[in-house]
Amino acid sequence: MNETIENKNYFMNIAINEAKKAAKKGDVPVGACVVCNNKIIAKAHNKKELKKNAILHAEIIAISHASKKLKSYRLNNCDLYVTFEPCLMCVGAILSARINNVYFGAFDTRFGASEQLVNNKFNHTSNFEGGILENECSTLISNFFKNIRESKKDKNKN
């Protein structure tokens, strides 16, 4: 986890921009990008609602695109930036793809699964570091749900 703070913030901002695209389409704002040798090789946002598909988390789409780009399912030299702590499925995908470092923004106290690693049996270990641009990332999520609650209240009033 030797990345500079400037680089971490730079790449997390790319993920944040992706997250904003998800929100615009009505999806929970989570964005991700895959970085290899300091270059962004894939970026993606959550499309679960849009595509009605529970698989299509930002991390899964970004890893798929990165594999396509590198023509390999082994992403050992790649780091993943994601605005929200990955869930069990995405942690499994990260390990399966052998991602090197994972930098995430906001912590997911409900479904975050990065601590599941302790007991994992995969033949690869990814390093996880949370809290990169945490405020920006968590505000994205909280604003999204606040807007949903408010628009429901407005509907009930009318």
Cite the active site residues: 59
Q: Is 25 in the site for a copy of itself (CB under 8 A)?
A: no
With CB under 8 A as the contact rule, the residue among 101, 120, 138, 139 that binds a copy of itself is: 120
Q: Total residues at the site for a copy of itself (CB under 8 A)?
A: 37
Q: Locate 137 and state its tokens.
A: 């990332």
Q: Measured between alpha carbons, how far is 144 from 138 in angstroms, rounded to an integer?
A: 10
Binding segment toward a copy of itself, per CB under 8 A, in 8-16, 28-36, 43-51, 127-135: 43-51
CB of 11 to a copy of itself, least distance (A): 21
**Planar angle of CA 41, 60, 58, nearest 5 degrees:** 80
Report yes or no: 117 and 126 within 8 Å, Cβ to Cβ: yes
| Nearest distance, CB of residue 71 and a copy of itself, angstroms | 5
CB-based contact 26:35 (threshold 8 Å): no
Contact with a copy of itself (CB under 8 A): which of 22, 44, 60, 133? Answer: 60
Q: Please, which of residues 79-98 interact with a copy of itself by CB under 8 A?
A: 87-93, 95-98
Q: Which span sits near a copy of itself by CB under 8 A: 7-15, 24-32, 45-53, 135-143?
A: 45-53
Burial 61-95 (b: 16+ CB within 10 A, else e): bbbbbbbeebeeeebeebbbbbbbbbbeebbbbbb
16/99 with CB nearer a copy of itself = 99
Residue with tokens 């499309």, as numbered in its chain = 47
